[in-house]
Chains A and B, each alone.
Chain A
Amino acid sequence: MGVKLLLEKAHVEGIRSYEVYRREGGYRSVEKALKTMSTDAIVEEVKKSGLRGRGGAGFPAGMKWSFIAKPEGVPRHLVCNADESEPGTFKDRYLMEFIPHLLIEGLIVSSYALGSHDTYIYIRGEYAWIVDILENAINEAKANGWLGKNILGTGFDCEIHVQRGAGAYICGEETALIESLEGKRGNPRLKPPFPAVKGLWQRPTVVNNVETLASVVPIINLGGEEYAKIGVGKSTGTKLISACGNINKPGVYEIDMTISVEEFIYSDEYCGGIPNGKRLKACIPGGSSVPILPANLLLKTAKGETRYMNYESLSDGGFATGSMMGSGGFIVLDEDQCVVKNTYTLARFYRHESCGQCSPCREGTGWMEKLLLRLEKGQGKISDIDLLWDIQSKIEGNTICPLGDAAAWPVAAAIRHFRDEFEWHVTHAEEAQKRNYGLAHYADAIHVPVTA
């Protein structure tokens, strides 16, 4: 049983209400932070904790906070990115739905640390019912003196506003989110200037993921150094993983990043194995945009070492043989799944969600979708596979925002690891319409050359 910091109290009955949350020790971190700590001390504590952004990129949160510009007389803002739209990721929804006060608590402490008097939660439009939950929690917190003017008599004022998005994946990109929050079309901005210098209404802004901000609560309660002791290496603390796909127990799990991928999939504490005795074929370990891995590379790295559920181990081997922790959307594919179809589905998603601002992403995503559909239907050509590879390489790195990369990586990884399945869709076009390629050799042990 691993350490639980965020979801420890999630199953206490009535935890959604303020009374129960407070009785269970809620809002202690606000008292500690506002009454006994300076704003710099809080930032320092977050830096010490080694907390990495939980939204996908894994950038150290304390570092991000220290970059915020502090010009005289200009208000600063904290924005909570709750526009969780990555296919396969639903950890923030769980957190906000079941333990909303944890987020509010984290937001108050973080707002205090960053000097934000108007803090925003930008939530995806589809999470309509969670808006009510959050607003209710904010009202309860306000009624009990945790928000509003002069919080706890410290002279710190803070308001939290909830803003609904209108259903665009791109608004999860921080500058597009800021544009949308300002009431404009959600097109990503060109960087620089970075939001830390010119963000919301041209003011210094920090945009953080829901889970990142909620993790500030245990960091303040335990202290940064204690928090850093949980986990391994640069993967400190706990991480929420939303597991889905062909597993017995899909859902949101909190892990302390010391368990292996194999344990996570097969142990009864977590995913509980693959249903109907099927075998593992592939897995997308960090949300739809990270590279897909075949079973043999998922459980063991290319060097033959066990792969663990943390930032370093999952990205071991780079994109050639590794993947990414991403946002923690863990998608498992069993032997009955078709990688070509899966890749097509993802490509269709990215095509639909591309904002259309810059040419490689706007045109390239549509092209990839059309080619993948043709391959999936058995009407493709062998040259289409090379063409796909070329298109993704022309998109990656040449776009304004990471959506281009996010669209290119799944296609690249699928071709890199599952090329024979793509070829089979061309050479056995009719058969491919009737049955799937199956597991093939994707779970076979990789030959590891002996070194030294």
Chain B
Amino acid sequence: MSDQLFKVTIDNITIEVPAGTTILNAARQIGGEVAPPAMCYYSKLQGSGGKCRTCLVEVSRGSEKDPRPMPKLVASCRTTVMDGMEVKNITSPKVIDARVGIVEFLLLNHPLDCPICDQAGECHLQDLSYEHGKEGTRYEFQKRVFKKHDLGPYIQLHMTRCILCYRCVFTADQLTDKREHGVLDRGDHSEIATFIEKNLDHDFIGNVIDVCPVGALTDKTFRFKNRVWFTKPVDAHRDCPTCSGQVQLWMRGDEVFRVTARKDEWGEVKDTTDGKPGWICNTCRFEKKHINDWVIEGPSKVNRHSVIAQGHYVGLTIPNETMPKVMHGRGPKLLMDIHSVSEVNAADIELSLLEGPATSKTFNHSEKTNA
């Protein structure tokens, strides 16, 4: 069954994928804009997906055997391909329209406090609303607000920003041996919570920060320290007894501001060299913040379409300096030079020793030597 290949056409591009592949993963193989956005699906977490509805696509032809189209838009992250299936993503006006609606729904209760949010720059919701949303909202009511919660010494939960993707619930459930947090209440007042205020203390619990698509779960050792686009991502590793130790450091100069797992172009944790998901432990993430703790491998390649990609300096080409060419070899004279000419700020004149007020003559070298 698994070695069987299904032919699927997504936005008029046909590829062959193994049976059991989801539409979303097939589209990701094609890549680019054909891949539907996903806010809740996370390929490394079992059972995730289907909730945010941003990945809805139209199936215009069910399969070779049953060519009827599916009556409703389907969640591409949880629908498996059939042989001969035809899918419309960005070529379907219905999908684009529905996605605009979903983005508006997701932003309805989101505070949009990006200027003070640590996730800004690498936030999936930001990217989603830039790419698929509309300007402005038609919502004229108060947004829901929650109190901030400290989940132990390292993690802060800011439910107001949460879009209830359930990724962190799956992470805690599947990576740690005791289930410490889940969802309380229901509907638009439901919240991620540790019942009631419990610390999350497990070696791998820090990964909930990495899976969070928005700024609801943030690293307390990094909060408000720096904007992510000012820090440079660097691949590094260390010999860690608990995890693979293969991480990404976010540095500025020699300073390590933040340690995260390495991410792929879909914003998901990359596999390590031995093929396992590269979740990292709390020690690596929160406690090893010195450059001597790590062996630097080199700059990370960020190929996600997002603001953090701006911090990219691999393959950087310095633009040609054209000024000397047009000025016949001379360099431009910068206005800053004025200081060294006038010597107004020269420190060798002690004002307190002068008799009477200082005049322009005081600072004029030739006058001074004459006197």
Q: Which residues of A contact B (CB under 8 A)?
A: 168, 170, 185, 190, 351-360, 362-367, 370, 387, 394, 397-400
Complex: A353 Cα to B109 Cα, angstroms = 18
A-B pair count, CB < 8 Å, reads: 88
Q: Which residue of B lies closest to A188 (CB)?
A: B50
A-B residue pairs, 4 tightest by C-beta: A394-B101, A356-B190, A363-B105, A354-B187
Q: Which of B72-80, B152-160, B313-321, B325-333 lies on the face that meets chain A?
A: B72-80
Give chain B interface residues in 80-138, CB to chain A under 8 Å. 98, 101-102, 104-106, 108-109, 138
Complex: A367 Cα to B185 Cα, angstroms = 18
Q: Which residue of A lies closest to B75 (CB)?
A: A190
Q: Are B102's CB and A359's CB within 8 A?
A: yes
User: Using an 8 Å CB-CB cutoff, how does the interface string of B351-362 with A read, 1 for contact, 0 for none?
Assistant: 000000000000
Would you give the shortest CB distance from B139 to chain A, in whole angstroms? 6
Q: Are A394's CB and B105's CB within 8 A?
A: yes
On chain A, the residues within 8 Å of B78 by CB distance are 190
Q: Are B188's CB and A358's CB within 8 A?
A: no
On chain B, the residues within 8 Å of A359 by CB distance are 51-54, 102, 105-106, 163-164
Give chain B interface residues in 142-176, CB to chain A under 8 Å. 163-164, 166
Question: Could you tell me the dominant secondary structure of chain A's interface residues?
Answer: helix
Complex: A400 Cα to B106 Cα, angstroms = 16
Given A359-B106, A360-B105, the answer on whether A400 and B98 have CB atoms closer than 8 Å is no
On chain A, the residues within 8 Å of B108 by CB distance are 363, 366-367
- B182 near A: Cβ within 8 Å? yes
B105, B182, B183 — which one has the most chain A CB atoms within 10 A of its CB? B105
Q: Which residues of B contact A (CB under 8 A)?
A: 49-54, 56, 72-73, 75, 78, 98, 101-102, 104-106, 108-109, 138-139, 141, 163-164, 166, 182-183, 185-190
Q: Which residue of A lies closest to B100 (CB)?
A: A394
Complex: A367 Cα to B75 Cα, angstroms = 23
Q: Are B50's CB and A190's CB within 8 A?
A: yes
Q: Are A394's CB and B51's CB within 8 A?
A: no
On chain A, the residues within 8 Å of B188 by CB distance are 351, 354, 356, 362-363, 365-366
Q: Are A399's CB and B190's CB within 8 A?
A: no
Would you give the shortest CB distance from B221 to chain A, in whole angstroms? 31
Would you give the shortest CB distance from B59 to chain A, in whole angstroms? 13
Would you give the shortest CB distance from B101 to chain A, in whole angstroms? 3
On chain B, the residues within 8 Å of A370 by CB distance are 141
Q: Are A356's CB and B53's CB within 8 A?
A: no
Q: Are B105's CB and A364's CB within 8 A?
A: yes
> Contact partner of B101 among A185, A357, A398, CB < 8 A?
A398
Q: Which residue of A lies closest to B39 (CB)?
A: A359
Q: Are B138's CB and A387's CB within 8 A?
A: yes
Sampled A-B contacts (23; CB under 8 Å): A190-B49, A190-B78, A354-B188, A356-B164, A356-B183, A356-B185, A356-B188, A357-B164, A358-B51, A359-B52, A359-B102, A359-B105, A359-B106, A359-B163, A362-B164, A362-B188, A363-B109, A367-B108, A370-B141, A394-B101, A397-B72, A398-B98, A399-B53
Q: Are B186's CB and A353's CB within 8 A?
A: yes
Would you give the shortest CB distance from B170 to chain A, in whole angstroms? 13
On chain A, the residues within 8 Å of B106 by CB distance are 359, 363
Given A358-B50, A359-B53, the answer on whether A394 and B187 have CB atoms closer than 8 Å is no
Q: Which residue of A lies closest to B56 (CB)?
A: A398
Give 13 A-B pairs besides A356-B189, A359-B164, A363-B105 with Cβ atoms closer than 8 angstroms: A190-B49, A354-B186, A355-B187, A356-B188, A357-B166, A359-B105, A360-B101, A360-B105, A387-B138, A394-B104, A394-B105, A398-B73, A398-B101
